[in-house]
Amino acid sequence: MIETKSAVEVGGSPTASAPARRAARWVGSCAVGPLTYDVAMVEKAPAIRFGLYDLVEARPGIGLDRLYRERFELIAAAEAAGLWGYHTTEHHLTPLDATPSPSLFLAAAAQHTSTIRLGSLVHVLPLYEPIRLAEELLMLDALTGGRLEIGFGKGVSSPEQRLLGRDPDARDANMGDVLEQVLSILRGEPVDGAPIPFRPVQTPYPPLWYAGNADYAGRHNLHVVLGGSADRIIENAHLHKQTAAAHADDPSRLNPDPVPTTAFSRHVLVDIDRDRARRRAIEAWKVYDHNITTHFRRLGEPRQSNPTLDGDGERAIEQGLLAAGDPDDVAANLLEVAAHSPVDYSLASFCWGSLDHAEAMASFELFVTQVIPRVQAGLA
């Protein structure tokens, strides 16, 4: 445990001079004692930031009220530890995602936090009416106090598109149409002569993110989140930065930032006992695979991609998709990417598959106190 003389409690008013912020030690879903994080430990390496990527997967026997309450505890702990952002997803009628409305969930998360950035990865644009979505994003940027990060995409699940009455084959064109109209409204451009009465807190609009496609993100100067093996992420991270630089004067650039953020994500389970972490991660990975294939199994359709390697956790660990083990193992996984590519943001998912809240919080504590310092030392 790291203790300092100047600390503030979660939910209190953090001050610029406070070198530490206090979270809670977790047993089940109850806070039972103090845990103080050294915020400077997280923030002292500006070359890379840390954040949370979160599919809020349903768990049998756990109601939505408890599931959300536990997640807000995790997000508050991430803020207390000095992590930069929290990013949630959008999926429909599947246990893979118990927050099918990212706007609604992030609005609630904003009430439990004050500094951490809050974002979607992603809003599935073909599923939205543009005016309604733009107005919701205006509200959300205000409700977060200007902390909103907007991820957008076309949607990876054809069954979900069909469930909501959309044609999966038209999603590329639909995404482009919705995006153009949403950004026009966020910039304050009238709709059929009707003026836009509100403007976002952030100008010209909140930062924009894309998932997976480094070339598309680079051409449009979008922040990107990459996944896959270390070799694949390293290749795509270089592609993202190089493509963005090559299109620096392109009028199609959507973010004003001179250099976009290149992030990568990992499912994480940290334990002092390496073998125990790997065994448990392999078990949980099977449930994650079961959740991610819900609609395809229901319809008897082949999956469109295979990010879980058919639920084979051992292969996922070998290929680096799953960072499971002791702090040295997990740090080595992250450094394999971070030390050999221009990534500047590392996203970790802690509560996934069959992992419960107590396991996620214990893993998160070790990540903050033992993995992050190892990664920073490796990059230094």
Tell me the percentage of the chain whose pLDDT exceeds 90. Answer: 81
Count CB-CB contacts under 10 A for residue 202.
16
* Continuous segment of H or E residues that includes residue 71: helix 64-80
Cα atoms in the 13 Å half-sphere on the side-chain side of 186: 27
Do the Cβ atoms of 6 and 22 come closer than 8 Å? no
DSSP state, 302? P
Q: How many residues does the chain have?
A: 380
pLDDT above 70: residue 23: no
| Per-residue pLDDT, 142 | 98
**Secondary structure element (H or E) that encloses residue 374, with its range:** helix 372-379
Task: With a cut of 80, say whether residue 37 has pLDDT above it.
Answer: no
In a domain, 19, yes or no: no
* Residue 15 domain-assigned (yes or no): no
Tally of CA atoms within 13 A in the half-sphere of 278 that contains its CB = 14
Q: What is the pLDDT of residues 162-202, one digit of tens each?
A: 998 999 988 889 999 999 999 999 999 999 999 999 999 99
Q: Which two tokens stand for residue 361?
A: 């919080």
Mean pLDDT of the 92-120 span: 97
Tens of pLDDT, residues 297-332: 999 999 888 999 999 999 999 999 999 999 999 999
Residue-level pLDDT at 304? 83
Q: Is residue 230 part of a domain?
A: yes
d(CA 2, CA 17): 17
pLDDT in tens, 227-248: 999 999 999 999 999 999 999 9
Is 51 among the domain residues? yes
In a domain, 238, yes or no: yes
**pLDDT single digits (tens) 129-171:** 999 999 999 999 999 999 999 999 988 888 898 998 999 988 8
Query: Would you say residue 357 has pLDDT above 80?
Result: yes
pLDDT at 370: 98
- pLDDT confidence bin for 261, thresholds 50/70/90: very high
Q: What does each C-alpha distance from 117 to 110, 243, 249, 278, 348 come to in angstroms?
A: 9, 26, 28, 31, 15
Q: What is the CATH number of the domain that holds 206?
A: 3.20.20.30
pLDDT higher than threshold 80 for residue 17: no
pLDDT interval class at 47 (50, 70, 90): confident
> Backbone phi, then psi, for 178, in 5-degree steps?
-65, -45
Q: How confident is the model at residue 25 (pLDDT cuts 50, 70, 90)?
A: very low
| C-beta of residue 198 within 8 angstroms of C-beta of residue 138 | yes
- Overall domain count for the chain: 1
| CB under 8 A, 24+ apart: contacts of 244-250 | 244/217, 244/218, 244/219, 246/218, 247/218, 247/219, 247/220, 247/221, 250/219, 250/221
pLDDT of residue 93: 92
Sign of the torsion angle spanned by Cα atoms 162, 167, 169, 171: negative
pLDDT the model gives residue 45: 42
User: What's residue 306's pLDDT?
Assistant: 93
Domain that holds residue 203: 47-379
